[in-house]
Amino acid sequence: MRKILSLSILVVFIFSCVFTVPTSTVYAANTVYYISQSAGNDNNNGTSMSTPWKTLAKVGSMSYGPGDQILLKCGDTWNEQLTLNNLVGGTNVITIGSYGTGNKPSILRNSLQADKCIKIIDAANIRITNLEIGNAGLGIIVHNENILGGNIKIDNCYFHDITGIHHLNPIPSENQFSMSAAVTVGAANPEGMVGVSIDNCTTYRATSLTNNWGRTQNLYITNCTTSYNGYGGASICYVDGGYIDNCHFLNGGTTDFPVGAAGLYIGDSTNYIVRNTEIAYQTRYGSNPDGCGADFEAEVYNSSLQNVYIHDNAGVGVMFFDNGRSRYNDHCDITNSIISNNSANPNVWTKHAILFSTPSNDNYGVISGNSYYLRSGEAFINSYDSSVTVTDNTQLSSPPSVPTFSTVTPPTLPTITPITCTIYQAEIASRNNVNINTNNAGYLGTGFTDSWNTVGDSLTFTIDGNGGGTKQLAIRFANGTGNWRTLSLYVNGTKAKQITLANTGGWSSWSDCLENVSLNSGSNTIKIQYDSADIGEVNIDCIKLSNPIYYKLINLWSGKAAHNTGEAYNGNSSAVAQCLAAVASGDTNDQLWQKLRVGTNGYYKLINKATGKRIHNTGEAYNGNLSSDAQWAAVVAEANDDAQLWRTVDVGNGYFKLICKNTGKCLHNTAEAYNGNPQNNNVAVVWDTGANEQKWQFVRQN
C-alpha cells in the first residue's frame, strides 16, 4: 500500500522565502487573495472581497509566499481541482481557508475515481482550514517530490464521499494511490514529509481519514471523528513518530476491500502512539477477512495503544499480523485500555480480543492494565511469544460504558527549511541488459528496471553534482524475494561499495537504500551494477539526490552535544577509530550528525559530518565495567556491522533513546570526565535504565 507519484525530473527547482507572481503585477508578502465562484471574475486582482477571483484554476496559476492567504467564500461551491505547486511558507504560513459567513466553502467533484479536490506538490509551512471536501476519489493530497519539506496543518474540515480506489482497483496510470482517503500525505524523498497535523476534522463515507503516499515523520491526528468510512478510521503507513489523541473511529468497513479492512491500520511505522481514542463497530464486508478494531501489520516498532476503547467490532479487537512476509512487529504495547465485545462476525481468525497471527514474529510487547469483556466463545488472547509480557489484565462481567475523552490541544509544528531533492528516473539512464517494466505497482516515472539476474547488468545515471561534496543518494528498489540482495555502486567509474537491498515484503513494496557519495561540482556518473560477488534479483526504480540533513545530538542530563573528538580510540589509528565524548554545544562539524536510514526496519547510521565516521558500539568493556554491562562508544569508519545501527525510541518531549542493534544497549552520557577534562564526559553504551543520561534530542542544523 501507500505508493509514490510518478514523475521524471530533469530540472532542479530553487526555492526562496518569497515568491513573485509571473505577471506584470508584483504582490507583497502577506497578501490575502479572495475567491468567489458566485461573484468573482478571474480578471479581477483578487486582493479584496469586492474584487475576488472566480476559479480554482486561476488560484493554481499564481505563486505564493510566506504569510499569503488563499480564502474561498463561504457558501460557494467549486467543481474543479485546486492544483498548487511549490507552496512554501515560512514562519508565517501560507493559509488556504475561508471568508464570509455561512456554510464552509466546498470543493465537490463528480464522484469519479480519478477526481481529486486539492493536490499540492512540494509544500512546507502551510495550513488548510474550514473547507468541505467531497465526491471524489481523493480529497486533499500533499506530496513532496522535489523538496524535503513539511509543517502541514489541516483543521476544521469536513470530508465525505471520498471513494473508489483500493490497491486492486487503482486509478489507471496512477497506481501510487493505494486507496481513497480524505487526506493523503507523504514524500518521494527518503526523509519523508516532516510534520503533519490533522485536527478537528470529520469524515463520512470517506474510505479513510488518512493514507500515506511515501514516508512521513511525525503525523498527529487529534479531535477527529470518522463514521461509515469504506475502509476504516485511519491508515498509518510508513510513519515515524506522532500520535492519535481524542478521536472516534466508528462504523468503518462499509465497502469491499478484498484483503480486509480495520478500524485503525498501523503498518511499517515506528514510534507511534494511539491514546484516548474509541474504535468501534467496524464491519466485515461480505466474506472478506479482518474487520478488526486495530491492526499492527508488517514491521511496526515501539508503538502503542494507551487508554483506548475498542468495542463491538466484527473481527478481533487487536490483531498483530506479519502479513505472511516474516516481518516483525516489535515492542508494541497495549496498556490501560478497554477491549470489549469484539469478534461479532469473524472470518479467518477465531474469536479473540487480542490475536497474534504468528506469535514468533511479534516480540517484546507489553499487554498490561487492560480491562476486557468477552462475548460468548471469545478468548482474551491466543498464544504469544515468550518475550511478550501479559500481566494485570482484568475480565469484566458486563460491557462497560464509553469513557469520556477530553479535547486536546494539537501540537505546534516547527517551521521547516526546505532542501532540494532531485529524482533521476531509470527510464532516462543508460541500461545494460536490464528491462523497463510496469507490471508491479508503486513505481515512479513511467516504469522500473527488472531482470537484474546476470553479472554485468547495470544502470548508469548522468547527474549534476549540485556544487559537489557529500550528497545523500537514495536508490529506490523493491525486493520481494524474502531475503536481502546485493548490487555494486560505482561513482564516476570507481567502485564505492557493495550495497545491501533489504527484503521489502513484495514486488509492489518499495524502499530506499541510502548511501553517502562524494561528487564533483559538475557532471557525475552513478552506476549500479551486478558484479560477480553480488546477489541480484531486485527491481530498481530511480535514484534521488539531496544534501544531507545534519543534527546536533543533545543529551537531556548534561545539555552537552555528542562530539567526535578526532583523538585515536584505544590505540587505533585515528583514521580508523576516534573517541566520542559529550562536549558543550559549539559551532563545529565534529558535533554534526546525519541520520542515514538503513533498510526497512527503523535503524539508522549516525554519521559525523567532519569525518564521515559512524557512532559505533565497540563491545569493549567501559572503564573497568564488565563488557556485558557497559561498553565504549567510538566513532569508526564505515563497516557492515550491527554495531553501527541504532534505533530511535521516542521517550517524549522531543527526546529519544538510541538503542544499538547488536547489543540492545543505549547510548549513555556518563558522569565521568573525558581524557581528564572535567568539562567533557565519556559516552558509553549501557543497558536501558530510563535515566536522562540516555535521552538525546536531534536538533536540526540546516
Give the CATH number for residue 579: 2.80.10.50
Residue 280: inside a domain, yes or no? yes
In angstroms, the Cα distances linking 127 to 10, 63, 140, 208, 444 are 29, 16, 12, 20, 27
Residue 611 falls inside a structural domain:
yes
Among residues 430, 442, 429, the alpha carbon closest in space to that of 543 is found at 429
Residue 564 within a domain: yes
pLDDT tens figures, 536-582: 999 999 999 999 989 999 999 999 999 999 999 987 777 789 999 99
* Nearest partner of 285 among 259, 316, 322, judged by Cα: 259
Q: Is pLDDT above 80 for 23?
A: no
Q: What is the pLDDT of residue 526?
A: 97
Can you tell me the distance from the alpha carbon of 141 to that of 697, in angstroms, rounded to the nearest whole number?
31
Q: No. of H helices and E strands in the chain? A: 1, 62
Q: Answer with the one of 546, 566, 584 that is the final residue of a domain.
A: 546
H or E segment and range at residue 379: strand 379-381
Q: Is 426 helix (H, G, I), strand (E, B) or coil?
A: helix
What value does the mean pLDDT take over residues 253-280?
A: 94
pLDDT value of residue 327 = 62
How far apart, in whole angstroms, are the C-alpha atoms of residue 207 and residue 260?
Answer: 13
Residue among 316, 320, 384, 301 at smallest CA distance from 351: 316
For residue 482, give the DSSP letter.
S
* Together in a domain, 482 and 594: no
Q: Are residues 540 and 554 in the same domain?
A: no
Place of cell 509480557: 389
Domain that holds residue 624: 550-700
Q: Encode pLDDT of 644-702 as tens digits.
A: 999 998 898 889 999 999 999 999 999 999 988 889 999 999 999 999 999 999 999 98
User: What residue ranges in 426-468 does DSSP mark as E strands?
Assistant: 430-432, 435-437, 448-450, 458-464
> What mean pLDDT do residues 362-386 have?
93
Per-residue pLDDT, averaged over 139-166, amounts to 94
**451 plus 480 within the same structural domain:** yes
CA dihedral over 235, 239, 240, 243, signed as positive or negative: negative
- Cα 333 from Cα 327, distance rounded (Å): 17
Q: Report the pLDDT averaged over residues 611-625.
A: 92
Q: Are residues 170 and 295 in the same domain?
A: yes
Between 536 and 624, the higher pLDDT residue: 536
Whether the Cβ atoms of residue 166 and residue 152 lie closer than 8 Å to each other:
no
Domain boundary among 512, 546, 580: 546
pLDDT at 99 over 60: yes
For 158-203, write each residue's pLDDT tens digit.
999 999 988 777 776 676 778 999 999 998 877 789 999 999 999 9
**Alpha-carbon distances, residue 462 vs 156, 198, 476, 534 (angstroms):** 46, 40, 17, 23
What ranges make up the beta strands (E) of 508-570?
A: 510-519, 523-529, 539-546, 550-555, 561-568
Instruction: Answer whether 134's CB lies under 8 Å from 104's CB.
Output: no
Provide mean pLDDT across the span 205-223.
Answer: 94
Which of 2-11, 22-31, 233-242, 609-618 shows the lowest per-residue confidence on average (mean pLDDT)? 2-11
Residues 438 and 353 in one domain: no
Greatest Cα pair distance in the chain: 80
Q: Give mean pLDDT, residues 490-512.
A: 90
Per-residue cell: 492: 564516476
CB 73 within 8 A of CB 44: no
Give the residue carrying C-alpha cell 554545544. 585
Q: Per the domain annotation, does 65 fall within a domain?
A: no
Here the CATH number for the domain that contains residue 431 is 2.60.120.260
Say how far apart CA 73 and CA 145 lie, in whole Å: 31
Residues 372, 432, single domain; the answer is: no
Do 375 and 301 belong to one domain? yes
What is the tens place of the pLDDT at every residue in 292-303? 999 998 789 999
**Cα angle value 189/192/197 (rounded, 5°):** 145
Claim to verify: residue 489 and residue 518 sit in the same structural domain? yes
193-199/150-155 β-pairing: parallel
Three-state secondary structure along 186-211? EECCCCCEEEEEEECCEEECCCCCEE
- Is residue 645 domain-shared with residue 669, that is, in the same domain? yes
Question: 358: closest CA among 349, 367, 369?
Answer: 349
Q: Residue 12: pLDDT above 50?
A: no
- The C-alpha cell at 7 is 514523475
Q: What's the pLDDT band for 443 if we cut at 50, 70, 90?
A: confident
pLDDT at 17: 29
Within this chain, do residues 204 and 248 fall inside the same structural domain, yes or no? yes
Residue pLDDT, tens place only, 62-80: 999 999 999 999 999 999 9
Residue 643 — very low, low, confident or very high, per pLDDT cuts 50/70/90?
Answer: very high
Q: How many domains does the chain have?
A: 3
The answer as to whether 672 is a domain residue is: yes
Q: How far is CA 185 from CA 56, 70, 515, 541, 604, in A?
A: 21, 20, 25, 21, 23
- Please return the burial class of 183, using the count of CB atoms within 10 Å of its CB with bins 0-12, 13-18 and 19+: buried
At residue 326, the pLDDT reads 57
| CATH number for position 250 | 2.160.20.10
Question: Is residue 73 in some structural domain?
Answer: no
252 with 271, same domain: the answer is yes
In this structure, are 487 and 633 located in the same domain? no
Residue 300: closest CA among 261, 348, 334: 334
Cell of 192: 519523508
Residue 361 lies inside a defined structural domain of this protein: yes
pLDDT interval class at 219 (50, 70, 90): very high
pLDDT average, residue stretch 389-402 = 95
Domain end, chosen from 546, 581, 608, is at: 546
Please compute the mean of the pLDDT values over residues 488-492 and round it to a whole number: 97
pLDDT tens by residue, 331-356: 999 999 999 999 999 887 779 999 99
Whole-number Å distance between alpha carbons of 659 and 675: 25
Whether residue 49 is contained in a domain is answered as no
